[in-house]
Structure 1
Amino acid sequence: MRTIKNSLALISIIFLSATFFPILVQPCNPIDKEALLDFKHRTKPSKILKTWIANTNCCSSWAGVTCNQTNGRVDSIQHYEGTLSGTLSPFLGNLTYLTYLSVSGTTKLTGPIPIELGKLSNLKHLFLSTNQFSGPIPSSFGNLHNLERLYLDSNNLSGTIPNSIFQSMSSLFELDLSENQLTGPIPRSISTLTSLTKLNLYTNKFSGKIPVGISKLKNLLNLDLSSNNLQGPIPDSIGELSELNTLYLNNNQLSGSIPSSVGQLISLTDLLLDNNKLSGVIPSSFGNLSEISRIYLDNNSITGKLPSTLENLGALQEISFTNNYLVGQIPPSFGNIRNLLSVDLSNNHLVGPLPPQLAKLNSLVSLNLAHNPLGPMSIPDWISKLTIITLNLAATGLTGQLPNWLSSSMITSLDLSSNKLNGALPSGIGNMSQLWYLNISNNQFHSTIPTEFKNLISIQHLDLNSNKFSGPLGIIFTTGSYLSIDVSNNLFTGPLDKNMGNYKGLNILGISSLILSNNPLGGSIPESIGNLTQLKVLEMASNRLRGSIPSSVFNLKNLKLLDVSRNELSGKIPAHKASIPASAFLGNYGLCGAPLPPCKH
């Protein structure tokens, strides 16, 4: 009983002490305060740094600063609000108990990263992202043995990375040096960072080969070496990174074959190898990538056939193999990749016929097979069963007329150019009210533009060039919200409406390219064209135009290309400051004045 009473008394004393005599906050260490005030002095103080007042306690009153409760030393600095400019103080190297330093995001610090930061042996987290730091990464960083996360991305850092930096960073699990100007090889010591889960080195100027020892990073989840100058083969040992989720090696100069060991990366969701110099065939082992969502192999020199094993990839959503040398047919088994959203096999040597099994791709919204010798063939009717939004079958050997089902499709972007399609533009085209891009150029269409065309209220880019369309152009100009129009090399007639420059469809977004050349328009150039203030390209060659050139045309400040050659224009070319060659006016025997010979009075 006495023991219980004594215990209760002790608890009461502790409670009263905590209530009436609260724990005292440690005063700011003088060394730490000096370092922080020097940091403030070297910057244009932000909202946070304005709370750093010399006669107050940095541990209790300074925003973004926390101290160790045991020894009162500053252990964390986080600049989380407001823009900060200036330079980083070398005195921060005196904060020997610091474990967390973050000056990134809205900060715009310049100059070199102080080598004194290498004295922060207790530092675990260093964030200096999105500044304007320049110069090399300090070799003194090799002393940061406890570092777990290092983010120096989105700066102007340059030079090579000393091999010694990473030799003693065994605790580092996130490293981001992306978007700098770093050069030289990726240091071989990177292989010692066996705790790494994230390695971002993209958008630098690294050269040389991918280190073979990178395969030792068994915990790596994300590897991004894209947009550098890396050369040589993809190491076969890459397949040992069994935990890898994303592998980005795109936009380099890698060569050789894709190693079949990539098929061992069974956790991979994203594989980007585009824009390299890779050759050989697509490994059949790709069929083992059961979690893969995206495969990009664009702009390489890959040959051979599409492997049928790709049908095993139930999670695959995007395929982009454009600009290679693939041959053969698209395997019917592609129809089993049910989650496909986007397929781009354009600019290869694939042949037809297209397998009707592709109609089973119920999720497909984008299909690009352009510039493959698939035909001669008509536009497959099975496409009507898909929920396609973007369809590109340019230069595929299409023949016949446009199918009726197009009018009830959900297509918003349609490219059927450079084929042998013929007949009239059907009136049902007007039902495609969501269509914003239409290119049926270089075909054999022959008709007027149906009045239903006015229902294409979403159209922004229209290319009808090199057909045999005829009739007036007004129905085209009075709809949509155009950025570009090309109706050249047809049989359209005029004259052009004198108010065409005021048409709503040409002004909502501001048309930038208007190409009307090689049509028997007749009439004159409307002065109202000067109201199309966003025009960069205006081509009206061989249009049988008469009269003078309106001075308003030369008031178009954004105009880069003008061509009114081979017409029947006359009079003096209005004075202008634009740099327009004489060839833009040739073939108009009544024109004179700069840049043509002067007028004879």
Structure 2
Amino acid sequence: MFHLQNTKPFMLSLTKIIPHIYSIILFISTYNPSLVEPCHPIDKEALLDFKHRIKHDPTNLLSTWLPDTDCCATWHGVYCDPMHGRVVKLSFHDPDDFKYPNHIYLSGTLSPFLGNLTFLEQLDLSTCKELSGAIPTQLGKLSHLTTLFLYNNKLNGSIPISIGYVNTLQQLDLSSNTLSGTIPDSIFHSFTSLTYLILSNNEFSGPIPSSIVNMRSLTYLDLGENKFSGNIPKNIGKLESLYFISLYNNQISGNIPNSIGKLSQLQYLRMYNNGLNGPIPSTIGQLISLRDLELNNNSLTGILPDSIGNLLNITQIFLQDNMLTGYIPSSLGNLTTLSYLYLQNNQFIGPLPPQLCQMNLQYLDLSNNPFSLGNIPDWLSNCSLLSLNLAKTGINGYLPKWLSSSNIDHLDLSNNEIEGKLPKWIGNMTNLNHLNISNNKFYSTIPNEFKNLSLLMTLDLHSNNFTGSLESIFDKITYETLGWYDFLDVSSNMFTGPIDMNIGNKPAIQFITSLILSNNPLGGNIPKSLANLVQFQDLELEGNKLSGPIPKEIGSNKELSSIKLSRNYLTGSIPRKVLNLEGLQEFDVSYNMLSGEIPSHKGDFPVSSFLGNPGLCGNPLPLCKH
């Protein structure tokens, strides 16, 4: 006898095997299409109309879509339910299918007939790149649709209100198009199953609909890179399943709601580049799962709440470019997983809490805050820093020797009052790839040990009192493909001597883009070897004591966009090839001893670029007198 109490185990077993039965049927249908229903004529008509509206298909995605074939059997990207022959999925993204090209490209518009695929569950036409026009309102008829991916195309217009009728939607991604307009509040009312909403990188405007808080299943929300305005919905804390929220690069204003503290599952909070104001709510300390906090580039005021020390899973804090005040709380020392702390361009005051080195901090930027630090704190030597930025923080005194044994690769101490000689131990900082000690009071020569900085790529020493030769800088060793200068600025110092005529052949210089040597008593000629610098974009040799001609060889530097040679003793004529460099935007040879007619040129250079050369004539100066 069959007893009712035995039905539960049976039903559980049946539930487990049904998906496998479906997979077996689908597998068999792939090799024996006669066992399943053929493509439904309504679906075929809809798909053929979609193909008809595609004007360009260079990757042949639709080459198998032929009217006399079965769309369920041979059409690329079309998936049918074998039980009833209706299309349930349209997608060109299946990494397990060798038939699909890696680079998808379709140009055309979306067919309103897609709304007739009434059994469709997944519609993925993302990254087709050139699908344009409006999203058809008929998509609102797809009552079984769970996934709608149309991202990375050129769709425009607004989101049709009819999309709100698809209450089965679980994933909606319309990002990276040119969609615009406001989003009606009614759209989000029925999306009770939606877990994934991405509308980023469009042109949506107006307020964030308050109905968004009704989507209680939402785990991922990205509205970044739009023109949304107004306030963050006050009840955003109702979205308790959220683990990712991104509202960056909009025009959102007002306060961060206190209710945000209820998002206990939240791991990523990105609201940078908006107009948010007011204080950071203390409830932010309740986001115990948070890993990434990005509130930079807003107008936030007030202090950094002590409760931030409760974010025990945090790895990144970006609060730069606000108007935050007060002391940096010592509770940050609790954040043992924190690697990035960016607080620059605020109004924080000192002293700094030594507890900062209780963390696993690797990237610290406190620049442009009125800390009045005095000496660089010695306890920073206990941190495991890779990047240290203390520009314009009121530092004086000397460079601390503990830097010589650090692993720092990015050091910025610019715009302070640091004095003394550049120590020989600077050569021990062999991890350095970026060094900026500009606008301080250094007064020595560059020690020979500087050559050991084999990974250094960016060097800024401008506005100090360095003296002597540039040899140790130019002759720096490199490490295989690393250590080639990209940017070099030693302007406004007291460096002397001629510029090495072989500079363009030195390994450390060969891939430089910006070379700035202005306002030094450097003599001699401009080296012809500069023509060998294949990525050269910016040459600044103003206010030196250079003489001789402008080398015509520089005209072969096709990437040059800026040449500034004013206030020297240059003679001869202006080389035609140099003045007609295709990308040249800035050219200044004023106040030299140049002569002759200015060559005809396409660039729009002002008169001031040529003044102070009594022997020069021709456009834009007065005409030459022959």
For the superposition of Structure 1 and Structure 2, which TM-score range results when normalised by the shorter chain?
A: 0.7 to 0.9
Rounded to whole Å, the distance in 2 between the matches of 1:499 and 1:599 is 37
Query: 1:39–1:88: 8 Å Cα contact kept in structure 2?
Result: yes
Tell me the CA shift for residue 554 of structure 1: 4.9
Query: Residue 421 of structure 1: SS of its match in structure 2?
Result: strand
Q: Equivalent residue for 1:394?
A: 391
The answer to whether the 8 A contact 1:573-1:591 is kept is: no
Q: Secondary structure of 1:302's partner?
A: strand
**Contact 2:261/2:284 (8 A) holds in 1:** yes
Specify the alignment match of 2:42 in structure 1: 31
Equivalent in the alignment of 1:227: 249
Question: What code does the residue aligned with 2:540 have?
Answer: E
Tell me, yes or no, if the aligned pair for 1:570 and 1:589 is still in contact at 8 Å.
Answer: no
**Structure 2 CA distance for partners of 1:123 and 1:191, relative to 1, 3 Å:** same
Q: What is the one-letter code of the residue matched to 1:71?
A: H
Query: Following TM superposition, by how much is the alpha carbon of 1:518 offset from its aligned partner in structure 2, in angstroms?
Result: 2.2
Map 1:142-541 → 2, pairs under 5 A: 142-336=164-358, 338-350=359-371, 373-375=372-374, 377=375, 379-479=376-476, 480-507=483-510, 509=511, 511-541=512-542
Native 8 Å contact 1:462 1:486 kept in 2: yes
Partners of 1:396 and 1:257 in 2: CA distance: 23
2:89 to 76, 82, 98: 76
For 1:77, the aligned partner's letter is L
Do the aligned residues in 2 keep the contact of 1:516 with 1:541 (CA within 8 Å)? yes
Output the CA distance in 1 between the equivalents of 2:563 and 2:241. 59
Q: Residues 218, 180 of structure 1: CA spacing in aligned structure 2 closer, same or farther, 3 A cutoff?
A: same
CA distance in 2, matches of 1:314, 1:528: 52
TM-superposed deviation, 1:589: 5.6
Aligned length: 555
Once the two structures are TM-superposed, the CA of residue 210 in structure 1 deviates from its matched residue by: 1.3
- CA distance in 2 between counterparts of 1:331 and 1:406 reads 19
Distance 2:380 2:38 in 1: 74
Distance 2:475 2:489 in 1: 15
* Conserved 8 A contact 1:415-1:440: yes
Whichever residue aligns with residue 571 of structure 1, its letter is: G
Paired with 2:196 and 2:365, the residues of 1 have a C-alpha distance of 34
> Structure 1 residues 142 and 306 mapped into 2: Cα distance closer, same or farther (>3 Å)?
same
Could you tell me which of 132, 139, 144 is aligned with 1:117? 139
| Paired amino acid for 2:367 | S
Distance of 1:22 and 1:572 partners within structure 2? 81
Partner of 1:11: none
> How far off is 1:206 after superposition?
0.8
TM-superposed CA distance for 1:307, in Å, is 2.5
| Amino acid corresponding to residue 76 of structure 2 in structure 1 | A
Residue in structure 2 matched with residue 54 of structure 1 by the alignment: 67
Give how far 1:411 is off. Answer: 2.5
Which residue identity does 1:35 align to in structure 2?
A: A
Quote how far apart the aligned CAs of 1:381 are. Answer: 4.3
- Deviation of the 1:586 alpha carbon: 4.8
Unaligned residue ranges in structure 1 (runs of 5+):
1-17, 351-372
Q: 1:103 aligns with which of 122, 125, 130?
A: 125
Q: What SS does the corresponding residue of 1:60 show, helix, strand or coil? A: helix
In 2: Cα distance, 1:286 partner to 1:49 partner: 54
Partner SS state of residue 504, structure 1: coil
Residue 204 of structure 1 deviates from its aligned partner by 0.9
> Are the structure 2 counterparts of residues 585 and 449 from structure 1 closer, same or farther at C-alpha, using a change threshold of 3 Å?
farther
Partner of 2:113, secondary structure, is: helix
CA distance in 1, matches of 2:442, 2:283: 50
Instruction: For structure 2, list consecutive stretches of 5 or more residues without a partner in the other structure.
Output: 1-27, 94-99, 477-482, 580-600
Alignment-mate amino acid for residue 34 of structure 1: E
Distance 2:506 2:176 in 1: 45
CA-to-partner distance for each residue in 1:351-382, whole Å, 9 max, x for gaps? xxxxxxxxxxxxxxxxxxxxxx201x2x4444
Q: Is the 8 A contact 1:570 1:591 kept in 2?
A: no
CA drift at 1:183: 0.9
1:102-136 CA deviation, whole Å, 9 max, x = no partner?
11134431111111111111111111111111111
Q: CA deviation at 1:147?
A: 1.2
Separation (CA, whole Å) in 2 of partners of 1:592 and 1:448: 42
Conserved 8 A contact 1:163-1:188: yes
Query: Could you tell me how far 1:97 is from its partner in structure 2?
Result: 1.0
Q: What is the distance in 1 between the residues matched to 2:430 and 2:263?
A: 49
TM-score, normalisation: structure 2: 0.82
Change (3 A) 1:22 1:40: closer
Report SS of the residue matched to 1:50.
coil
Q: Measured at CA, do residues 215 and 406 of structure 1 come closer, stay the same or move farther in structure 2, by a change above 3 Å?
A: closer
Give 2:316's aligned amino acid. R
Quote the Cα distance in structure 2 between the aligned partners of 1:429 and 1:312: 33
Displacement of 1:500: 2.4
SS of equivalent residue, structure 2 residue 411: strand
Structure 1 residues 298, 127: closer, same or farther in 2, change over 3 A?
A: same
**How far apart in 2 are the matches of 1:597 and 1:215?**
70
Q: CA deviation at 1:54?
A: 1.9
**Percent identity at matched positions?**
53
Partner SS state of residue 475, structure 1: helix
Separation of aligned partners in 1, 2:465 and 2:564: 22
> Matched residue of 2:245: which SS?
strand
Alignment of 1:540-555 (within 5 A): 540-554=541-555
Work out the CA distance in 2 between the residues paired with 1:27 and 1:395.
73
2:253 touches 2:276 (CA, 8 Å); kept in 1?
yes
Q: What is the RMSD computed on CA atoms of the aligned residues?
A: 2.6
Q: Which one-letter code corresponds to 2:569 in the other structure? A: E
Please state whether the residue corresponding to 1:191 is helix, strand or coil: helix
User: Which amino acid in structure 1 is aligned with residue 188 of structure 2?
Assistant: F
The answer to whether the Cα contact below 8 Å between 1:572 and 1:599 also exists between their aligned partners in 2 is: no
> 1:243 deviation in Å?
2.6
Counterpart position of 1:40? 51
Matched with 1:360 is none
| TM-score (ref. length: structure 1) | 0.85
